[in-house]
Structure 1
Amino acid sequence: MSQQNTIQAYAAKAAHEPLVPYSFDAGELANSQVEVEVEYCGLCHSDISILNNDWGVSSYPVVAGHEVIGKVVRLGSDAKGLKLGQRVGIGWTAESCGACDPCIGGEQVLCHDQKGTIVGREGGFANKVRADWQWVIPLPDDLSPESAGPLLCGGVTVFTPMLQNNITALHHVGVVGIGGLGHMALKLLKAWGCEITAFSSSLDKTDELKAMGADHVVNSRDPEALKAQQGKFDLILSTVNVTLDWSSYINALAPKGTIHLVGIPLEPIQVPAPLLVTGVKSIRGSITGSPATLRQLLKFAARKNIAPQIELFPMSKVNDALAHLESGKARYRVVLKADF
C-alpha cells in the first residue's frame, strides 16, 4: 500500500453498524483531481442514509462525510485555479462529466453522470478526501473553517431556491421546518432582506427563531394558524420530509407563488388542481447547487457574516456525533474536527 495514497478514515462495514477505523489505498491521483487534507467535516442526514443503505446505492465499507473543509495537499496535472495549502470546501458532488448539456450550460449539478462525494467513493470522515477540481470550492478568508462545512450541502440546498425563484428583498418567504436546513434558510433570507415567516411545531423556540432572522413564527400544527396565512407568501420553502396539509400551504401563497421542496416527503403529494390553476401557483423542487452557486453562496456568507449554528465533536467520536444527530437534539448542525 503506497504511503502517499493511503487514507485513514472511519467506515461502516455494514448497514446500521458503528463506524470503525479503516485505512485504504486510494490509488493514483487522477489528473483532474485535487486531494484535500480534512480539517472539519459536517454531518448531514444524507450521511446516515448512505451509511444505512436507505437509498439502496451504498457499497460497503462506506466512508461518509460530504461537508468537508480542509487544505489542498495535492493537485492533479489538469487541476485549475487552486494552489497547494489553499483552504477549500467539498460538498455533495465530487465529479461531473463536463461534456453534457447541463455541464456545458453551467448546471453541473444536473449532470447525467455526476458522482457524489460519498456514493461509490470515500468521503470526508477521513484524514484526506479527493474530488474533481471544479467541485473543490475556494473558501473565503472571512469564513470560519469550523462552521463553514454545512454551507456546502445544507446551505446551498436552501440557497438555490432563492436564486431559482428570483427572490428579492420585496418578497415574503415562509420556511417550513427549522432544523439543520431551515435555520440556515432563516439566516440567508434575513441577509437577503426578505420578510420571513418560520413554520415550526416547536413554539418554545420562537425567540431563538426570531434571533436567527424570522419576523413571524407560526405553529405548523395549528390549522387555524395556517388558515390565517392565506395569500401572504411569494415562496414557501419546505425543508421537511413529512406530508403537509398541502391545500393549506397552497392557499397561503400569494398569486404566482411557489411551494419549493428541498425536503422529500415520503408519500405522493395530493393537490387539488384548481388551487394551482386559479392562482397561477406552482410546486417545484431542487437539489444542491452547481460549483458557481457554491462559490456565490460562500462569498455571500462571508460578506454578510453568515455562519451555521454548530456543535463540534472530535472525529474520533463520530459514532457519538451520529447518535446525537439521529436523536433530533442537534442545534442545529453537527461538525467533526479531524483528530487523526
Structure 2
Amino acid sequence: MINAYAALTPGAKLTAYQYEPAPLGAHEVEIEVRYCGICHSDISIIDDDWGMSSYPVIAGHEVVGTVIQLGTAVNDLKVGQTVGLGWYADYCETCEQCQNGDENICSDLTPTIVGHHGGFADKVRANANSVIPLPDSIDLMSAGPLLCGGLTVFNPLIQFDIKPTDKVAVIGIGGLGHLALQFLKAWGCEVSAFTSQTKLQEALTMGAHYTVDSRDSNVMAALPRKFDLILSTVNVKLDWNLYLSKLKPKGRLHFVGATMAPLDISVFNLTEAQRSISGSDTGSMQTCGKMLEFAQRHQVKPVIEIYPFEQINEAIEKLRTGDVRYRIVLAR
C-alpha cells in the first residue's frame, strides 16, 4: 500500500489517499520518498491549468529517496541506493528522439504527475530509465529542486552551446531564476537580472553582475542591445518585443517559464538582426547527470524552505501566494 496526498478535484486541497499499486514491472523501480520539492508545475496540474490532469492527482516530481524494490530487468540500480526522479517517469526508448539522447522530447513519454502517481507520497514508482543516481556528497535536502528547476535552466546552456564569454540575462528571480543566476555565473558568463526593485540586491548576491529594474521604463529604454541570450523564467505576459530589442544580432530569447498567453512578436524584431525565439522544459538524463555534477563542483544550490509532509497544504498555499524564497521542499 502506498500512502499519499491527492487532489480529488481541480484546485482542491490535498487529502490523505491510499492506493494499491500493480505488481512491479520488470523495468520499474520503487523509491521510498525522503524529500520532495513543490514546484509551480505541481499546482498547475492540481488545478488542471494545462488541461491534461487526471484525478485523483498525486503531484510531486522533485523526488529524492532510496531504492527499495527493483524490477527483474533492472541491472543498473541497486536496493538502498539514493536516487532522484524528476518530471518524467518513463520514455519509450525507441523513437528517434530517445535514440538520439533527447528522451525529454520523446513522442511517447510519461510525465511523473500526469496519468501517473507522483512523489507526494511515502513511495513512488518509475521506469529505471528515468531514475538518476545522486552523487554521494550532494545535499539531499536541497537536491530535489535541481531535478526539475535546476535542469530546466541548465539545459539551454548545453543545447545552445552557451560560452563563458557570452552575456546572458535572466527575466524573473524566483524558483527558476535564482538557480539560473547561479549556474550562469559558475559557467563564466556575464550575468544580468531583470527583476523588481525589491530583488535587485538579492539578485547580486545570487550571482548577477548587473541588475535591471524591469519596471522602470526609462532604464529599460536606455539599455543597449548587448545580450547573447535572454532566459525568461516567468509565467506572465511581458513586452517581448522590448526584450528582443535588447539582444545582440543572432541573439536568442528563450522561454523556460510556462507563459500561457500568446506571444505578440514583431517579425521585424527577428529578421533585422537574425534573432531567434525558442523554448524548452527540462532536459535529457545525460544533461541531468551533467547538471548534478556541475552543481556539486560549483556548489549551486536552491534556496529552500522545509515543511513536513503533514503540512503539505500550508506549503502549497504559501507557494500560491508567491511568498517563498525560493523553493519549498517536503521532508519526512
TM-score (norm 1): 0.96
Residue number in structure 2 paired with 1:145: 140
2:68 alignment partner, one of 55, 73, 76: 73
- How many Å apart are 1:251 and its aligned residue? 1.2
Query: Secondary structure at the residue paired with 1:112?
Result: coil
* Mapped pair 1:32 → 2:7: no
Supply the AA of the counterpart residue of 2:241: S
**Contact kept? 2:173, 2:199, Cα under 8 Å:** no
- How many Å apart are 1:227 and its aligned residue? 2.0
In the alignment, the residues of structure 2 paired with residue 266 and residue 62 of structure 1 have an alpha-carbon distance, to the nearest angstrom, of: 21
Residue number in structure 2 paired with 1:17: 12
**Contact kept? 1:41, 1:69, Cα under 8 Å:** yes
Residue number in structure 2 paired with 1:212: 206
- How many Å apart are 1:318 and its aligned residue? 0.3
* Mapped pair 1:280 → 2:278: no
**Contact kept? 2:86, 2:148, Cα under 8 Å:** yes
Query: Secondary structure at the residue paired with 2:169?
Result: strand
TM-score (norm 2): 0.98
1:233 alignment partner, one of 201, 204, 227: 227
1:266 alignment partner, one of 245, 251, 260: 260
In the alignment, the residues of structure 2 paired with residue 313 and residue 89 of structure 1 have an alpha-carbon distance, to the nearest angstrom, of: 19
**Contact kept? 1:227, 1:252, Cα under 8 Å:** no
In the alignment, the residues of structure 2 paired with residue 57 and residue 272 of structure 1 have an alpha-carbon distance, to the nearest angstrom, of: 31
Residue number in structure 2 paired with 1:250: 244
In the alignment, the residues of structure 1 paired with residue 25 and residue 170 of structure 2 have an alpha-carbon distance, to the nearest angstrom, of: 41
User: Matched residues, percent identical?
Assistant: 50
Residue number in structure 2 paired with 1:3: none
In the alignment, the residues of structure 2 paired with residue 191 and residue 139 of structure 1 have an alpha-carbon distance, to the nearest angstrom, of: 20
Supply the AA of the counterpart residue of 2:188: G
Moved over 6 A (4+): none
* Mapped pair 1:57 → 2:52: yes
Residue number in structure 2 paired with 1:321: 315
- How many Å apart are 1:264 and its aligned residue? 2.7
In the alignment, the residues of structure 1 paired with residue 230 and residue 55 of structure 2 have an alpha-carbon distance, to the nearest angstrom, of: 38
1:179-219, Cα deviation, whole Å (9 max, x unpaired): 00000101111111111000002x22222211110111101
Show the 5 A alignment for 1:106-145. Answer: 106-145=101-140
**Contact kept? 1:143, 1:301, Cα under 8 Å:** no
- How many Å apart are 1:265 and its aligned residue? 2.3
**Contact kept? 2:200, 2:213, Cα under 8 Å:** no
**Contact kept? 1:143, 1:305, Cα under 8 Å:** no
In the alignment of these two chains, the number of paired residues is 332
Residue number in structure 1 paired with 2:326: 332
Query: Secondary structure at the residue paired with 1:123?
Result: coil
Residue number in structure 2 paired with 1:166: 161
1:272-314, Cα deviation, whole Å (9 max, x unpaired): 2222112111111111111111111111111111110000000
Residue number in structure 2 paired with 1:222: 216
Q: Point out the more displaced range, 100-109 or 244-253.
A: 244-253
Supply the AA of the counterpart residue of 1:188: F
Supply the AA of the counterpart residue of 1:223: S
Supply the AA of the counterpart residue of 1:68: V
* Mapped pair 1:177 → 2:172: yes
Please tell me the root mean square deviation across aligned C-alpha atoms, in Å. Answer: 1.0
2:284 alignment partner, one of 290, 313, 338: 290
Supply the AA of the counterpart residue of 2:126: A
- How many Å apart are 1:125 and its aligned residue? 0.4
Q: Give 5+ residue unaligned stretches, structure 1.
A: 1-5
**Contact kept? 2:172, 2:233, Cα under 8 Å:** yes
Query: Secondary structure at the residue paired with 1:23?
Result: strand
- How many Å apart are 1:23 and its aligned residue? 1.0
